[in-house]
């Protein structure tokens, strides 16, 4: 059973207080009102996440932060009479009823109004009156109001509502020329016929339908502004004008479009899912160009180090490790064991055949933290060869991890209840000792030494990661991305002062977290943020996205892969803007058009599909707020995409060497 009271308190602390909501009465009211009573059945577990949720009639219940912000802006208090336009679920009216003397709320959908009225009765909130009607006309017989809050976006502040304010009263309303793109406005009545306005920034609300709002068609009401004004281009039209169409992946012109990033130290290439073929093929085409024409030698991917090391041995023509299992056998196998990755790996091997200097060979490296078992085996195998006595000591040190190395997530549960500090000390000591013997070991084989030391670092990080993951929150995510960034730094250092790297990882890792819900709400960091802080303009962050198609994903962790249909992008998302541009595939260099970049600064929804995809809860499970123009330097778009093809036995053993890295 969900602990909703705890979730409610956490919502107030994390999503409201930390983001600047300070009105004590607002915070206490948000703690008191059970938001789960106002969401649609099946969405109760998401009630205290900071996001909008769908309700009947195509409407939404606003995210808690926006509800709290608007109420705080309205400066309501005990004794006030407040009008709300757009009852919706009734949640905002319920919150205000805990603060003021009386709330009047108008809803144009009779079904929503009746459902809200029933909820108020069940909760015993008897100081709320509900009416069905055109909210843009207000509630004249109950006026004047100390505050009016409008939960829908209009073309302007309706005159009827302004006139129903008491002197000193406040009207809070989203307004804008686009029914789906508004600014949050506060209008204060200063006198009988005088008003002042304050702009609180960009927001997204459903359209305000009514006589003094938008018509049902969604088009602007005629004659509400002076005629003859030049038409302003829509945001999709601006995107279409700035978009650079992409040719086929095999066309050299595809890679050439990315020459503008060839002088960077690090180019990070994202993806909006872990199972979309176009994302892998695009990253491969871009990376081939960066390697061949711009001297990049590091391909660092969101994969486990020991698994990627097997690929690296193959592409750099080194013998495979003895008795090594084929890489990428753990869930999600399709993420790296697919035909697109196999084709790119073969290209890397053939490219390296033509390279004379070992320092110019392109390498394939894993940044991630999960394969503790493979890392332990790699460290021990290396030490068996170069220092058998050290190998014996290492086996003793890693002994405390032995019961959990094949299922390390269970270690965290045990470590929280037992005296496992010695295990942390042991794995850290092993890492320090390998680094301390760097000169001696590196003389025997510098590449193998680097592999062993990185595996030792991974074990130390993984031990801590699996221990703290049971605390929840941002700490385990932050440890993982910190480890991945530090691994990238070690690779650049090892490959020399002029080394340049391409990173393949999910958008959630490579887009700057400071400008997404991750950093703003959840205090999470990521590789993209670290790269900007470390390398500045020498880092390029490039996101990839899609509107619809198919994707390879699972319904639950460690379950079977399925080919799933991707739902068309949400109407309030960046993806929908790209789709509405009418350009099927393009590169958007955000910094080339200042006007467009300014429009893309405003936060919108952005879709994130990982190895798990649940279309039935997509809005809640797979969308988050972001500022695209601050998150990325460029964005690559494919309107319709298809799922990756996982490797099976039919893809192995036909004309490929025995060292083929994906052999089954």
Structure tokens at 364: 């394939």
In terms of average pLDDT, the best of 386-395, 415-424, 442-451, 454-463 is 386-395
275 pLDDT tier (thresholds 50, 70, 90): very high
Q: What is the pLDDT of residues 277-324, one digit of tens each?
A: 999 999 999 999 999 999 999 999 998 878 898 899 899 998 887 777
Over residues 16-23, the mean pLDDT reads 87
CATH of the domain at 152: 3.40.50.150
Shared-domain flag, residues 505 and 616: yes
Most confidently modeled range among 6-10, 256-260, 352-356: 256-260
Query: Which carries the bigger pLDDT value, residue 400 or residue 278?
Result: 278
pLDDT of residue 653: 45
Q: Secondary structure of the chain: what % helix, strand, coil (to 5)? A: 45, 20, 35
Most confidently modeled range among 33-37, 473-477, 486-490, 515-519: 33-37
Average pLDDT over residues 638-651: 86
Displacement of CA 347 from its chain's centroid (Å)? 31
Given 203, 226, 251, which residue is the final one in a domain?
203
Residue 400 counted as domain residue: no
Residue 149 belongs to some domain of the structure: yes
Asked, for residue 428, whether it belongs to a domain, the answer is no
| Tokens at 507, concatenated | 């958008």
Q: For residue 549, give the CATH number of its domain.
A: 3.40.1660.10
Q: Are residues 17 and 123 in the same domain?
A: yes
Is residue 106 domain-shared with residue 153, that is, in the same domain?
yes
Q: Which residues are tagged catalytic?
A: 62
Domain that holds residue 544: 239-296+500-641
Lowest mean pLDDT, pick from 234-248, 457-471, 507-521: 457-471
Per-residue pLDDT, 118 = 95
Residue 45: predicted pLDDT: 77
Chain-centre distance for alpha carbon 267: 19
Both 171 and 267 in a single domain? Answer: no
Q: What's the pLDDT at 490?
A: 84
What gap in Å lies between CA 206 and CA 59, rounded to an integer?
7
In a domain, 103, yes or no: yes
Q: How far is CA 43 from CA 16, 53, 367, 592, in A?
A: 20, 8, 35, 41
Rg value, the chain, Cα? 28
- 138 and 193 in a single domain? The answer is yes
Q: Which of 50, 88, 82 is nearest to 69 (CA)?
A: 50
Residue 219 in any domain: the answer is no
- Same domain, yes or no: 105 and 191: yes
Strand 501-504 and strand 539-553: the pairing is unpaired
Q: What is the pLDDT of residues 445-461, one digit of tens each?
A: 445 555 655 555 545 55
Query: What is the CB neighbour count within 10 angstroms for residue 165?
Result: 22
Q: Mention every residue, 6+ apart, whose C-beta is less than 8 A from residue 320.
A: 310, 313, 314, 659, 661
Q: Six-digit token pair at 257?
A: 């479009």
Let me know if residue 170 belongs to a domain: yes
What's the pLDDT score for residue 410?
Answer: 40
Res. 141: pLDDT tops 90? yes
The total number of structural domains that make up the chain: 2
- Residue 252 sits in the same domain as residue 139: no
- 275 and 137 in one domain? no
Q: What is the mean pLDDT of residues 154-173?
A: 93
What is the token pair recorded at 662? 């994906």
The model's confidence at residue 389, banded by pLDDT at 50, 70 and 90, is: low
The tens digit of pLDDT for each residue in 573-613 reads 999 999 999 999 999 999 888 889 988 988 899 999 988 89
pTM: 0.60
Binned at pLDDT 50, 70 and 90, residue 441 comes out as very low
H helix or E strand, kind and range, residue 183 = strand 181-189
85-134 pLDDT, tens digit each: 999 999 999 999 999 999 999 999 999 999 999 999 999 999 999 999 99
Distance CA 373, CA 386 (A): 20
| pLDDT(534) > 50 | yes
Q: Are residues 133 and 244 in the same domain?
A: no
Lowest pLDDT segment from 206-215, 496-505, 507-516: 206-215
Higher pLDDT, 3 or 175: 175
pLDDT score, position 229: 36
Q: Are 564 and 534 in contact (CB under 8 A)?
A: no
pLDDT score, position 656: 43
Give tens-digit pLDDT for 352-375.
999 988 889 999 999 886 654 554
Q: Is 46 helix (H, G, I), strand (E, B) or coil?
A: helix
Q: Of 165-174, 180-189, 511-520, which one has max mean pLDDT? A: 165-174
Residue range 42-69: average pLDDT? 83
Average pLDDT, the chain: 82
């Amino acid at each position: 059973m969900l602990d909703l009271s705890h979730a409610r308190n956490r919502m107030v602390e994390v999503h409201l207080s930390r983001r600047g909501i300070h009105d004590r009465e607002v915070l206490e009211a948000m703690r008191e009102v059970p938001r789960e009573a106002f969401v649609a059945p099946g969405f109760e577990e998401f009630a205290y996440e900071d996001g909008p949720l769908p309700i009947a009639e195509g409407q939404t219940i606003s995210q808690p932060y926006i509800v709290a912000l608007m109420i705080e802006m309205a400066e309501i208090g005990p004794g006030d009479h407040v009008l709300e336009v757009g009852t919706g679920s009734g949640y905002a009216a319920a919150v205000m009823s805990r603060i003021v003397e009386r709330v009047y709320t108008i809803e144009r959908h009779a079904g929503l109004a009746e459902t809200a009225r029933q909820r108020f009765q069940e909760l015993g909130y008897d100081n709320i009156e509900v009416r069905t009607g055109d909210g843009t006309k207000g509630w004249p017989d109950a006026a004047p109001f100390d505050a009016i809050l409008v939960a829908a976006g209009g073309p302007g502040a309706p005159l009827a509502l302004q006139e129903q304010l008491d002197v000193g009263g406040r009207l809070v309303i989203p307004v804008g020329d686009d029914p789906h793109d508004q600014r949050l406005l506060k209008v204060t009545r200063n006198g009988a016929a005088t008003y002042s306005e304050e702009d609180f920034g960009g927001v997204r609300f459903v359209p305000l339908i009514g006589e003094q709002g938008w018509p049902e068609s969604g088009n602007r009401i005629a004659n509400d502004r002076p005629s003859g004004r030049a038409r302003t281009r829509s945001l999709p039209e601006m995107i279409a004008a700035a978009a650079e169409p992409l040719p086929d992946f095999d066309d050299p012109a595809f890679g050439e479009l990315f020459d503008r990033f060839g002088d960077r130290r690090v180019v990070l290439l994202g993806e909006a899912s872990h199972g979309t073929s176009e994302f892998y093929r695009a990253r491969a085409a871009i990376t081939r160009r960066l390697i061949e024409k711009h001297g990049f030698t590091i391909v660092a991917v969101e994969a486990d180090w020991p698994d990627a090391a097997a690929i690296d041995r193959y592409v750099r023509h080194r013998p495979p490790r003895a008795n090594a299992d084929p890489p990428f056998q753990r869930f999600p196998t399709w993420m790296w064991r697919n035909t697109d990755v196999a084709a790119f790996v073969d290209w890397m091997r053939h490219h390296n055949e033509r390279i004379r200097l070992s320092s110019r060979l392109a390498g394939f490296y894993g940044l991630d933290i999960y394969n503790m078992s493979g890392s332990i085996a790699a460290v021990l195998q290396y030490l068996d060869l170069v220092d058998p006595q050290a190998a014996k000591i290492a086996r003793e040190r890693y002994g405390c991890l032995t019961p959990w190395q094949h299922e390390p997530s269970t270690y965290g549960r045990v470590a929280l209840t037992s005296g496992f500090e010695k295990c942390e000390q042991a794995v850290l000591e092993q890492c320090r000792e390998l680094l301390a013997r760097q000169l001696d070991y590196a003389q025997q084989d510098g590449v193998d030494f680097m592999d062993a030391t990185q595996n030792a670092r991974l074990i130390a990080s993984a031990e801590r990661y699996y221990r703290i993951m049971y605390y929840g929150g941002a700490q385990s995510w932050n440890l993982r991305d910190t480890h991945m960034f530090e691994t990238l730094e070690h690779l650049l250092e090892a490959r020399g002062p002029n080394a340049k790297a391409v990173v393949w990882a999910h958008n959630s890792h490579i887009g700057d977290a400071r400008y997404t819900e991750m950093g703003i709400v959840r205090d999470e960091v990521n590789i993209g943020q670290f790269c900007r802080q470390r390398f500045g303009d020498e880092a390029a962050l490039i996101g990839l996205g899609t509107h619809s198609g198919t994707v390879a994903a699972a319904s639950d962790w460690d379950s079977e892969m399925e080919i799933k249909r991707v739902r068309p992008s949400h109407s309030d998302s960046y993806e929908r803007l790209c789709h509405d541009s009418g350009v099927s595939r393009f590169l958007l260099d955000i910094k080339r058009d200042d006007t467009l970049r300014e429009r893309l600064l405003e936060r919108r929804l952005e879709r994130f599909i990982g190895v798990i995809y649940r279309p039935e809860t997509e809005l809640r499970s797979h969308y988050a707020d972001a500022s695209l123009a601050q998150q990325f330097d460029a964005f690559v778009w494919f309107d319709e995409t298809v799922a990756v093809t996982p490797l099976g036995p039919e893809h192995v053993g036909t004309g490929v060497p025995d060292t083929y890295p994906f052999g089954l």
